[in-house]
Structure 1
Amino acid sequence: MRLKQLTVMVALFAIAGTANATKYTCSGLVKGLSVSPQNGLVLAERIGELQWPRLCSISEDVAGIPADNCKLIYSTLLAAQLSNKTVTIWFNDSKDCSPASHPAWEELTGWYFGPRVND
């Protein structure tokens, strides 16, 4: 009986660990915030480890992010860049902050919250 209980507990911890492993944050300084003149895409040379992520567009809805929300995201990132403060962005896609997980010039996947300017 104890072996069964131990097995069930180990399985539950493994499932809980797997569920938590899908969420992560990326944090760092914002450098080179840019807006494309052709399509209004907002990009940044760097946000922590992220290199040239395609965030959103200030002229049209992209990846479920309305243009008005993108303008707020842009202003938040600009404030962080000008004040030399780090930001945090939350993800839920079982990846990490590496360039291999989020290649340059591509849309961010799994992004569900942020950016938040850190103190």
Structure 2
Amino acid sequence: MNKLIALCLILLSFSVHASRYTCSGKVIGVSIDAKSGDVLVERIGPLSWPRLCKVDNEHDNISAEACRTVYSTLLTAQTTNKEVTLWFNDSKDCSESSHQPWKWLTGWYFGPKLEID
């Protein structure tokens, strides 16, 4: 519970200094790096090959269990041809210059949310 409170306080402090935005779109090419356990996606809307989380251990305060849920949501979106939305809280945008391929997503704090018609 203390971790949840601390995370909420951190997110609130970021909201004062950063802008919020969302990136949405179709999901193509969900994969897991066999050596590192990293979840990568060829495309999530405008994002190209973002590195999201690790299925085998915690990374950037995202537990392996939460990562497996993210992976499952992305697979569902891919197989059902639905869009997802990710929320960000930093000074960037959805462009490739802000979120470079093969790099860890920065500022990502919520989602993916599966968009249902």
What TM-score bracket applies, with the shorter chain setting the length? Answer: 0.7 to 0.9
- Structure 1, unmatched stretches of 5+, are 1-18
The CA RMSD measured in Å over matched residues stands at 1.3
- The answer for the alignment partner of 2:99 in structure 1 is 102
Determine the structure 2 residue equivalent to 1:36: 33
Q: CA deviation at 1:20?
A: 9.6
> Could you give the per-residue CA deviations for residues 4-63 of structure 1, whole angstroms, max 9, x where no partner exists?
xxxxxxxxxxxxxxx697000000000000001101100000000000000000011111
Counterparts in 2 of 1:54 and 1:75: CA distance versus 1, 3 Å:
same
Cα distance in 1 between the residues matched to 2:50 and 2:22? 15
Q: In the TM superposition, what whole-angstrom CA distance separates every residue of 1:51-88 from its partner, at most 9, and x where no partner exists?
A: 00000000111111000100000000000000000000
Percent identity reads 55
Alpha-carbon spacing, 1:22–1:32, altered in 2? closer, same or farther (3 Å): same
Structure 1 segments (4+ residues) deviating >6 Å: none
* One-letter amino acid matched to 1:93: D
Structure whose CA Rg is larger: 1
Query: SS at the partner of 1:37?
Result: coil
Structure 2: unaligned runs, 5 residues or longer = 1-15
- Could you tell me which of 67, 74, 80 is aligned with 2:71? 74
Q: Does 1:51 align with 2:48?
A: yes
- For normalisation by structure 2, the TM-score amounts to 0.83
